[in-house]
């Protein structure tokens, strides 16, 4: 009976892991097709993938068992995608359609930067914090929703630039803060509703503070990619202020 139960747990985790892989791939495929059919501008398509892929990746987490290896099975999907970015960026793998869909200029070497850092950041957040702490989910929410909406809004409406960084705008930073705060509170509510941790009104206020810090860091003219700085400042502040 014990071996049968263990087998059922493994099957459950494999099914959940398949969903963590299929969800983001479906998001990428959907917006790639829309861009190909000229129903969506390519840059907007890329940013919508940036926003949704990581958030959709977290949705099946409650389906995993309580096994200690479950988080590694969940993280495998993102880690494998990171390895694919390395293979494509170095020319060891070939997928011209994917390179065009993910990169800005169609250069495969771009995949060794933003897309790879995106995968690394989400992998770290998953393995280190998993669903038992709001820290990881809030960090991913800031990376996806905050950084994504900052670019979309700032690129289209950001006429008033920040005095210390002329590549960023006031409205872009405001969009980051608003989107990251809402997504962070939503992710916290989602996992708290399954009983993984207790969320009080102070918890939600704290997620807003985390998003404010991440928005400030994202606005700075740093030589490090936003996919790394946003995620890891959110993790650092979250570890100070949130339960984990």
pLDDT tens per residue across span 143-194: 999 999 999 999 999 999 999 999 999 999 999 999 999 999 999 999 999 9
Spatial distance between the Cα atoms of 139 and 234, rounded to a whole number of angstroms? 5
Spatial distance between the Cα atoms of 123 and 23, rounded to a whole number of angstroms? 16
What digits encode the pLDDT tens for the residues 41-71?
Answer: 989 999 999 999 999 999 999 999 999 999 9
H/E segment holding residue 209:
helix 201-219
Spatial distance between the Cα atoms of 215 and 63, rounded to a whole number of angstroms? 31
What is the pLDDT, as a whole number, of residue 1?
42
What is the pLDDT, as a whole number, of residue 8?
77
Spatial distance between the Cα atoms of 85 and 111, rounded to a whole number of angstroms? 5
Average pLDDT, integer, range 2-8: 54
Average pLDDT, integer, range 197-209: 96
H/E segment holding residue 167:
strand 165-169
CA-nearest of 43, 46, 15, 54 to 30 is 46
What percentage of the chain exceeds 70 in pLDDT?
97
Cα three-residue angle 10-11-13, rounded to 5 degrees? 65
35 band by pLDDT with thresholds 50, 70 and 90: confident
């Amino acid at each position: 009976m014990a071996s049968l139960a263990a087998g059922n747990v493994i099957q459950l985790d494999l099914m959940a892991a398949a969903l963590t892989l299929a969800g983001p791939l479906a998001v990428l495929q959907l917006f790639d097709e829309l861009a190909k059919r000229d129903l969506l501008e390519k840059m907007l398509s890329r940013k919508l993938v940036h926003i949704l892929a990581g958030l959709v990746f977290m949705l099946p987490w409650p389906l995993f068992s309580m096994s200690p290896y479950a988080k590694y099975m969940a993280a495998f999907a993102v880690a494998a995608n990171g390895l694919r970015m390395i293979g494509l960026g170095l020319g060891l793998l070939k997928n011209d359609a994917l390179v065009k869909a993910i990169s800005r200029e169609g250069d495969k070497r771009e995949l060794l930067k933003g897309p790879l850092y995106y995968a690394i950041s989400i992998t770290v957040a998953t393995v280190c914090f998993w669903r038992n702490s709001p820290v990881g989910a809030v960090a991913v929410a800031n990376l996806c929703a905050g950084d994504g909406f900052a670019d979309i809004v700032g690129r289209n409406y950001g006429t008033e630039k920040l005095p210390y960084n002329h590549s960023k705008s006031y409205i872009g930073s405001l969009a980051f803060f608003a989107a990251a705060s809402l997504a962070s509170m939503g992710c916290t509510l989602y996992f708290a509703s399954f009983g993984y941790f207790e969320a009080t009104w102070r918890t939600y206020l704290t997620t807003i503070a985390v998003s404010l810090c991440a928005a400030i860091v994202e606005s700075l003219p740093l030589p490090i990619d936003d996919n790394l700085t946003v995620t890891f400042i959110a993790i650092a502040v979250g570890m100070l202020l949130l339960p984990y």
